[in-house]
Amino acid sequence: MPKKTAKQPNNNLPSRPPVVVILGHVDHGKTSLLDYIRQTKIAEKESGGITQHIGAYQVEVPPEEAPKSRVSEASRGIPPRQPAGRDDFTPSGRKITFIDTPGHEAFSAMRSRGAKVADIAVLVIAGEEGVKPQTKEAISHIKKAGLATIVAITKTDKPAAQPEKVKTDLSAEGLIVESRGGDIPSVNVSSKTGQGVDELLEMILLVAEMGNLVADPSKPASGVIIESCRDPLRGPTATLLIQEGAIKPKDIVLTESTCGVIKRMENWQGKTLETATTTQPISVLGLEEAPLVGEKWQVVTDIDLAREKSKQKGLREQKKRARAEVIESNPEKKILNIILKSDFLGSLEALEESLKSIKSDEVTLRILEAEVGDISESDIKLAESARAKIIGFRVKLPNIYAQLAEQKKVDISLFQVIYELIQKVREQMAELLPPEIVRTDLAKLKVIALFKKDKSGQVIGAKVLSGKVEKGLWVEVIRGEENLGKGKILHLQHEKNDADTVGVGKNAGIFFQGNTQIEIDDILMAYREDKKRRTL
């Protein structure tokens, strides 16, 4: 079995629900697995089926569930019984808090943060794909946090699924499952049929029991900020994970960057709460600003003292100054200014880190502002004055500001999927690069006659040895082994008639313009130069 990761228990303290982080590669079925458990179809609302920000949910597992019941029922065509998390479950059910994290490579910091606040990690691996780059990254986070681990091999209903190969791949990463003689439990699951879901829930509860997870309800409430945003209608909103104590409306919450009096608390389903306890994820209204993701929070008794302790202004100003600083190693580098807007701070953090990782020796990306919230008039005015582009991630552009942006000729791009946003910024940076000049050799000629020379150019006769010469091509003049220079074919004739092209084996009359003096028997290499847009 997996190792225990909890602190040494105080036997006088009550047990608490486990906090479970779901980790794995993008599109391996993490959110779909949670959806089956809580039956809410959250994944269908996500852009491209990809979780774009962290989510926290609490479900209730009914006691005495038969681990294989859903599998046997499904095999007989009987619809699955109601999943955990429904209101009609009895209070005697056992609770589990899940933290869902995005699998896209850009969200590494969010996955790391999820691992740090959890007790147990469920490593999700698609049976038909196996261990992928973000799977390896997730394993690294798990090992660093020292988490008890359960492997969930998903999509096992598909014919291409190879659970045993997945276990072999995991062995290469240092995770040995129980069936291979190790101490890591593994469960084959399917979010489509329900196979193995009950076994997974029971295994989570068993691992939690072994970990002796407890909490002190008498302590002032405290925990971690899981996510935050600035709702255009409701104001600053934060997702709190409670690690100690209980919290209720009118409590004063202090974080490292802000504070406030709780006006309203909701569970993950949007239902109003009068109280919330240990390991429960809640959404709160009433903070004066959206707190920074990953911050610690605590309930205090004095709002004035809380405001004094709040470091929000200094932290934000310092972050803004650091963002605006651009150290130029090359004064000739082009600069792309952007204003970044996002729906959640966690997503904003991932976007900033991803964009900063775009490297170029010729173009600098400068993020003038990175804020949570919909695009505003001030964003457009700043973009106009700084000649910046506005990039929005899952935010809105009100019609009145869209019209203003059009008047001010401010470029605004909106995105629902993070990798599409990153690709767009790459393209915008690449547009500032000078084009690549691509040469295509088209013909080889030998000079056989000299007719006329003046200040505007030289008229010559040449035989086409290979290829096809065209009017307007560049010409490289070669004498022996020496390249004398180049010029251009301004006019072209064949048998004293104007021509656009002259083919191989034929003689051509050429009006050559260039700084090189052509002589009999010189070789001319005719070629075309095309400009090609570069990419990063």
| Spatial separation of the C-alpha atoms in residues 268 and 501, rounded to whole Å | 72
| CATH number for the domain running over 19-211 | 3.40.50.300
Tell me: pLDDT of 210 over 50: yes
Instruction: Work out the average pLDDT over 150-168.
Output: 89
Nearest to 23 by CA among 131, 128, 95: 131
Tell me: pLDDT of 374 over 60: yes
Predicted confidence band of residue 525 (pLDDT cuts 50, 70, 90): very high
Q: How many CB atoms neighbour CB 324 within 10 A?
A: 11
Contact assessment for residue 464 and residue 503, using Cβ atoms and an 8 Å cutoff:
yes
| Spatial separation of the C-alpha atoms in residues 341 and 377, rounded to whole Å | 13
Lowest mean pLDDT among 21-30, 67-76, 274-283: 67-76
In SS3 terms, 115-154 reads as HHHCCEEEEEEECCCCCCHHHHHHHHHHHHHCCEEEEEEE
User: Considering the chain, what is the average pLDDT of its residues?
Assistant: 81
* Helix orientation angle between 133-145 and 108-117, rounded to the nearest 10 degrees: 30
Instruction: Work out the average pLDDT over 178-201.
Output: 90
pLDDT, tens digit, for every residue of 382-415? 999 889 999 999 899 999 999 999 999 999 999 9
pLDDT, tens digit, for every residue of 489-498? 999 999 989 9
Amino acid identity, position 149: T
Q: Which two tokens stand for residue 86?
A: 């429904």
User: 260 - beta bridge partners?
Assistant: 253, 287
| Spatial separation of the C-alpha atoms in residues 366 and 358, rounded to whole Å | 11
Contact assessment for residue 99 and residue 54, using Cβ atoms and an 8 Å cutoff:
yes
- Please state the pTM of the whole predicted model: 0.60
At 114 the pLDDT is 53
| Spatial separation of the C-alpha atoms in residues 119 and 508, rounded to whole Å | 82
Nearest to 59 by CA among 190, 184, 205: 205
Q: How many CB atoms neighbour CB 103 within 10 A?
A: 25
| Spatial separation of the C-alpha atoms in residues 138 and 135, rounded to whole Å | 5
Phi-psi domain of 52 (left: phi exceeds 0; alpha: psi -120 through 50; beta: other): alpha
**DSSP secondary structure letter of residue 196:** T
Lowest mean pLDDT among 35-39, 173-177, 473-477, 517-521: 35-39
- H/E stretch holding 228 reads strand 222-231
| CATH number for the domain running over 436-532 | 2.40.30.10
Q: Which CATH superfamily is domain 330-430 in?
A: Translation initiation factor IF- 2, domain 3 (3.40.50.10050)
Phi-psi domain of 141 (left: phi exceeds 0; alpha: psi -120 through 50; beta: other): alpha
Going from N- to C-terminal start, the domains of the chain cover 19-211, 222-314, 330-430, 436-532
Tell me: pLDDT of 333 over 60: yes
Instruction: Work out the average pLDDT over 455-468.
Output: 93
Q: How many CB atoms neighbour CB 458 within 10 A?
A: 18
Judge if 222-314 and 436-532 fold alike in CATH terms.
yes
At 48 the pLDDT is 44
| CATH number for the domain running over 222-314 | 2.40.30.10
Lowest mean pLDDT among 2-6, 122-126, 456-460, 514-518: 2-6
Q: Is 464 helix (H, G, I), strand (E, B) or coil?
A: strand
Q: How many CB atoms neighbour CB 66 within 10 A?
A: 11
CB contact set of 161 (below 8 Å; sequence gap of 6+): 126, 127, 128, 153, 155
| Spatial separation of the C-alpha atoms in residues 300 and 386, rounded to whole Å | 42
Strands 19-24 and 94-100, sheet pairing: parallel
Q: How many CB atoms neighbour CB 522 within 10 A?
A: 20
Predicted confidence band of residue 57 (pLDDT cuts 50, 70, 90): confident
